[in-house]
Amino acid sequence: MVKTPTGKNTSGRGQRDLRVRVKTAKGRKLSSTLWLERQLNDPYVARARKEGYRGRAAFKILELDDKYRFLVPGARVVDLGCAPGGWCQVAVKRVNALGEKSGKKVGTVLGVDLQEVDAIAGAEVHQLDFLSEGADDKVKAWLGGTAHVVMSDMAAASSGHQNTDHLRIIALCEAAAYFAFDVLEEGGTFVAKVLAGGAENELLTILKKNFTKVANVKPPASRSDSSEKFVVAQGFRGKRHEGEDDEDGEL
């Protein structure tokens, strides 16, 4: 179980603000200074560094898995947009990809990304555009079968316009969902980052038609001032064929 770092000073009397303050250096933007100050004071950043994770985002998937239990020993996992690799690191440990848990099934972790990613112990990483033709067949060939879990922490490049960024990340998440429909086996799980803003309702409708359980949650590691949430869709109903009706009799 992941413990939530509090970053609080509980020394009692004489307690003082231990927050690191950063002065704006000449030639550095205020926004850069504020980002640096936030990083230096973020307990998840410090813990990621201490525990060897490539970023604080690792704790988001840890907390989601603590609650929904989809990264089980023996699972075959695909991480879309895996850079810098923190989610893959978590998956490697939890699905027993290195075979370190005696008597447990050994899983597989496959990471794909548009950019080259440094090697991750226990994971197989490929430079691939998951939207390219035949990408789903390549992934299944690398896995040696269908996936039990498809997960994505991807976000489209920020434009600085909130509504535009919201629509972009929802579109990216929908594309990841349809990719998951092609590579998941029945009963599988899809996990992806979204931004709250209204357009995610259509995505949730699509997921509810294809999975038995769908949750829209914000794990503790997700910053409180961020609009990001995560969808966790479990119990994949299986790939549908053209013309097949859903439970409501709609196409």
Cβ-based neighbour number of residue 151 at 10 Å: 30
Cβ-based neighbour number of residue 243 at 10 Å: 6
Residues acting as catalytic residues: 193
The upper half-sphere exposure of residue 67, i.e. CA atoms within 13 Å in the direction of its Cβ, equals 18
Q: Is 87 annotated as a binding residue?
A: yes
Q: Is 85 annotated as a binding residue?
A: yes
Within 135-215, residue ranges assigned H as helices are: 135-143, 162-183, 200-210
Q: Is 113 annotated as a binding residue?
A: yes
Give 108's strand partners: 76
CB 62 within 8 A of CB 93: no
- Cis, peptide link before residue 219, omega less than 30° from 0: no
Feature table: binding site for S-adenosyl-L-methionine: 85, 87, 113, 129, 153
